[in-house]
Amino acid sequence: MDIREVGVVGLGTMGAGIAEVFARAGLRVTAVEADAGALSAGMSLLDRSLRKLVSHGRLTQDEYAEIAGRVRPGPAIATLSGADLVIEVVPEQLAVKRAVISELDQVLRPAAIIATNTSSLSVTSIAAGSAHPGRVVGMHFFNPAPVMRLVEVVTTVLTEPVTAAAVTALATRLGKTPVLVNDRPHRARHVGRDPRGACARVRRHPLHPGAPAAPPDRRRTHGAEERRRVLRVHRGTAGLPGRIPG
């Protein structure tokens, strides 16, 4: 999948950093916040970070203008309809994240990817709130996002292999080191404390050069019945219908 246009929902410190990473890699970015004041503050965070790079000689004025020009503020999620991938960076509350995912389901194209930057919540629970859980994946940046090299690509039993492959390739394109992990509690805490171990896992990842070309199809491994069971459990906790969308 060719990802050229991305959206970032939530432009706090982490969201602004992620938007900067995307823009510096040449992607067009639409940044969305809950209100105009928060959006303005987030855009200012991004601008200050880029200007700091200029003052330190790491960017020229022309490069600054080019990167800043790739990021546009969006007043609502509806402005993300043309995005190939959207990452949510909203507060770590399951209900809030599910509400964002539900809105994204209504505006994004079926092939678009929805990523969550959660570091503590179950990606499976977040994905189960989507009408299309196979396109939901964890893409966890560490703070500060422009500096930290590791990015966790967190898959669930619901994640389509093509989704995981596309996000892993994107992380590499961003100049990051992707770490493919299965959804489990406190995963970020362990990877963050053991970067050498994380890098070793990257070397064993099927997408790494010298390894088999295709990642294992975990959806087939677990089977349709297991995916139905997972959806019944996770969607049931939120009073949602426990079904796999067709």
> Does the structure show a pLDDT above 90 at 177?
yes
First to last CA, the chain: 22
Report the SS3 class of residue 160: coil
Find out whether 80 and 74 touch, Cβ atoms under 8 Å: yes
pLDDT (average), residues 102-113: 96
Q: State the Cα–Cα distance between residues 235 and 239, nearest whole angstrom.
A: 6
Catalytic residue among 140, 186, 190, 222: 140
- Active site (annotated) includes residue 132: no
pLDDT of residue 221: 52
The amino acid occupying position 12 is G
Q: pLDDT grade, residue 9 (50/70/90)?
A: very high
Token pair 């970032």 is at which residue?
8
> Does the structure show a pLDDT above 80 at 243?
no
pLDDT of residue 228: 59
Q: State pTM to two decimals.
A: 0.80
Domain boundaries, the chain: 5-236
pLDDT of residue 47: 98
Fold of 5-236: Rossmann fold (3.40.50)
Q: Tens of pLDDT along 30-50?
A: 999 989 999 999 999 999 999
For 29, the enclosing helix (H) or strand (E) is strand 28-32
Closest CA to 7 of 105, 102, 149, 114: 114
The phi and psi torsions of 29 (rounded to 5 degrees) equal -125, 135
